[in-house]
Amino acid sequence: MRKWTRLVSLVLFMSGSTAPNSVLAESIEKASQKDIATLLDAATGMNSAYLASLIGETHGRVFIEYVTAVHASSLFSKEQKRVVYWLSRSEITDEQLMRFRNYKDKQEPRK
C-alpha cells in the first residue's frame, strides 16, 4: 500500500510541476482600447519585463507582438510569453499607429 501512495504522490507532484508549462502556449488575441494603452506603454521599452512591437498592417488590420517575462508560469520557467494582438485599422488612431512605428524604428538596429 505504501508503494502506491508514494507512486501516486510522485505522479501528482510531477504533473503539478509540469502543468505551468502548458500555459506557455503562444496566442493571438483581439486588442481592446485598454490593451492599446498597455501596448503603447510596453512599446516604449522603458521596462525590461515586457515589450511590444508593431508587426505590421494587412487587409485593414494592425498586428502588435507583446512579449513578457512576467506571467503565470514565470516562477517555473525562464521562457517569455508572446501574444500577438490584432485590431481593425479603424480602432487605432493615426497618432497611436505613428507612435508604434516610431518605437519600432528605435528598437530595430541600423544596417
Q: How far apart are the first and last CA of the chain?
A: 67
Asked whether residue 47 is domain-assigned, the answer is: yes
- Identify whether 87 is part of a domain: yes
Residue 61 lies in a domain: yes
Predicted pLDDT of residue 1 = 53
The pLDDT value recorded for residue 27 is 84
Is 97 a member of any domain? yes
- Cell 485590431 belongs to 87
Residue 74 has a pLDDT of: 46
- Structural domain range at position 92: 23-107
If one counts the domains in the chain, the total is 1
Task: Give me the residues of the chain with pLDDT under 70, please.
Answer: 1-25, 70-78, 107-111
pLDDT at 17 (0 to 100)? 47
Looking at residue 96, its pLDDT comes to 95
User: What per-residue confidence (pLDDT) applies to 86?
Assistant: 94
CB of 75 closer than 8 Å to CB of 100 = no
Residue with cell 508587426: 55
